[in-house]
Amino acid sequence: MRKIIISETLDQIRIAVLDNSKLSYFFIDNTSEQASIRGNIYKARKNLSAKGIEASFVKIDNERSAFLSNFHPLKADFNTDSSDSYKIQDKNFILVQCVSDYDPRKAPKVSDFVALPSKFCVIIAKPKFFGISKKINSDEKRLRLKSLKRFTTKNLGIILRTSSEKQKLKDIEQDIRETKMKWKEIISGFNNQSEPSLLHQENNIIENIYRELVTSDTNEIQTNSRRIYNYFKKQIFSSRPKEKKTEVKLIASKEDLFVLNKIDKEISRIFHKKVNLKNGSFLLIEEKEGLTVVDVNSGRSLNNKKETNLSVNLAMAKEIGHQIMLRNLSGLVLIDFIDLQSSSERKAVFKIFKGSMKKDKAKHSILPMSKFGIIEMTRQKIGNRTSSLVSESCSVCYGSGAVTRKDIVCYDLIREIISLKKTSKKTRFVIEIKEELSETLAEILEKNKRNAAIKGLNILTISKKLNESYKII
């Protein structure tokens, strides 16, 4: 069963997803920061190809250019010889969709393959195309869903997502109709706008959580925010009665929701390089700019006569898949297993590892284990690595290490103050804080000064050189 926990502190939202009480996903979103552009759809002005390279750029607004890429995460699902079949363009403009996010070092990537996702389907600009998720294996279920092909038109195609597998046809039909209306508005905008412009903005993180992570086995959603509670109760579940079985709870606790659910320590371990297993073996996960290296170590496990290199590797294969998704690792990943004697053993470990990645929503490709015990894989980048949400390069060691981000430390401090306010009824707090954190804390408090959680608080900060980040006195 799935449980989703959403904790809101001022303008920061933290989300944890638990499957059978085990942490599967973790997200942080700051609503005051620049919104993501991944998934946004634009009317873009065509530009000339860049000299010296086989590439072209387009204007997506008056200020920004974007790199026109052939890549789109959904493209691999289509069997087509012609890329022209799904381009929407005229003499000077083309319809594009962002497939990457902000990066200060380079322009965002866009694709002329445009896809509009919803809860149960994806609309694409490929005439009469009809597809069903490859993850739906049952011939009976696929045959039932094929009846929905009638919703395709001479201008658009439809892909049914994995989430449609257990849904009633009438619910999927309603979802298709709603998504087709949105698509119609996008095409109308393309035809009527005379300049590069944003035609469709991807949903906020709460809507995305509903669309991508609220599944048929989600039995509970917890939040400390009345705004988020009302969103799920009124805007989502009221329009989809079938999903009322998912219980939405507003928790007014003095403790932080992550502490209340006893997952705060588990979340903190996401950012550790070392992952320990109960049998004494452990993983070392090294995240670098160009790749991630995962090293399997037997540790104390082989002191147990029942444990072998094979048994350790099999246990690690399951855990590595879990860690890759939890940490949102992307790009090239190299996994160095303990040496195995036979090809049959290597195949067994490979099978288990590949199986552990079946639930992954990101596109990935995995190569069989080499005779040296190494599995190579690549994984699509979706958002930022989990580690980057809370850490930044260490200025002292010239980037060879990482430290917790200043804003993350400050939000932890604010959560502690809010909790103390509830338990002690105090409104005045004196905090000793590291000098480099005081400015960040002041900015967050100023930005959220009208927020009810901190309104009326008198917070005095004293900047000091401390061993710890802060001290409430």
* Fold classified for 2-34+212-258: Nucleotidyltransferase; domain 5 (3.30.420)
Own/partner long-range contacts of 277-283 (Cβ < 8 Å, ≥24 apart):
277/301, 277/315, 277/316, 277/319, 279/304, 279/307, 279/312, 279/315, 280/304, 281/307, 281/312, 281/315, 281/316, 283/316, 283/319, 283/320, 283/323
> What CA–CA distance (Å, rounded) separates 90 from 43?
10
* Fold classified for 272-386: Aminopeptidase (3.40.630)
Least confident of 171-180, 304-313, 370-379: 304-313
Give, rounded to a whole angstrom, the gap between the first and last alpha carbons of the chain. Answer: 42
- Calculate the CA 20 to chain-centre distance: 20
How many CA atoms are closer than 13 Å to the CA of 311, on its beta-carbon side? Answer: 11
Least confident of 36-50, 97-111, 118-132, 237-251: 237-251
Look at residues 61, 67, 23 and name the one whose alpha carbon lies nearest to residue 49.
67
Residue at token pair 């974007």 = 66
Q: Mind listing the pLDDT tens digit for each residue in 266-322?
A: 888 888 888 888 888 899 999 887 799 999 998 876 666 667 889 899 999 999 999
Structural domain spans, the chain: 2-34+212-258, 41-203, 272-386, 406-472
Residue 38 DSSP label: T
Task: Mark 393-421 as b/e (b = at least 16 C-beta within 10 Å).
Answer: eeeeeeeeebeebbbbbbbbbbbebbeeb
CA-to-CA separations, 350 to 135, 287, 377, in angstroms, rounded: 20, 22, 11
Using the predicted structure, report yes or no on whether residue 79 has a pLDDT greater than 80. Answer: no
Q: Mind listing the pLDDT tens digit for each residue in 389-436?
A: 666 666 555 555 677 888 888 999 999 898 888 888 888 999 999 888
> What CA–CA distance (Å, rounded) separates 92 from 190?
12
Within 86-145, strands assigned E span: 93-98, 109-111, 115-117, 121-124, 130-132
**How much is the pLDDT for 321?**
93
Q: Which pair of tokens denotes residue 162?
A: 């994995």
**How much is the pLDDT for 435?**
87
Q: Which pair of tokens denotes residue 1?
A: 């069963």
Interior angle at CA 443, CA 441 and CA 446, nearest 5: 110
> What CA–CA distance (Å, rounded) separates 152 from 175?
14
**How much is the pLDDT for 55?**
62
> What CA–CA distance (Å, rounded) separates 298 from 308?
9
Query: Which residues are within 8 A (CB) of 142 and not within 5 positions of it... i.e. 6 or more apart?
Result: 132, 136
**How much is the pLDDT for 368?**
94
Helix (H) or strand (E) holding 59: strand 56-59
> What CA–CA distance (Å, rounded) separates 222 from 230?
12
Look at residues 328, 422, 408 and name the one whose alpha carbon lies nearest to residue 12.
408
Q: Mind listing the pLDDT tens digit for each residue in 435-444?
A: 889 999 999 9
> What CA–CA distance (Å, rounded) separates 63 from 218?
42
Please provide residue 409's backbone torsions phi and psi, each rounded to the nearest 5 degrees: -60, -45
> What CA–CA distance (Å, rounded) separates 56 from 121?
31
Q: Which pair of tokens denotes residue 202?
A: 């991807």
Alpha helices in 58-168 (DSSP H): 139-145
Q: What is the chain's mean pLDDT, rounded?
A: 84
> What CA–CA distance (Å, rounded) separates 46 from 92?
6
CA-to-CA separations, 365 to 70, 150, 326, 331, 433, in angstroms, rounded: 18, 33, 18, 10, 46
> What CA–CA distance (Å, rounded) separates 441 from 461?
9
Look at residues 38, 4, 6 and name the one whose alpha carbon lies nearest to residue 383.
38
Burial class from Cβ neighbours inside 10 Å (0-12, 13-18, 19+) for residue 38 reads middle
Query: Which residues are within 8 A (CB) of 197 and not within 5 positions of it... i.e. 6 or more apart?
Result: 42, 43, 61, 189
**How much is the pLDDT for 400?**
55
Residue 45 DSSP label: E
Q: Which residues pair with 377 in a beta bridge?
A: 333, 366
Using the predicted structure, report yes or no on whether residue 42 has a pLDDT greater than 50. Answer: yes
Using the predicted structure, report yes or no on whether residue 204 has a pLDDT greater than 80. Answer: no
**How much is the pLDDT for 12?**
87
Alpha helices in 11-87 (DSSP H): none
pTM: 0.76
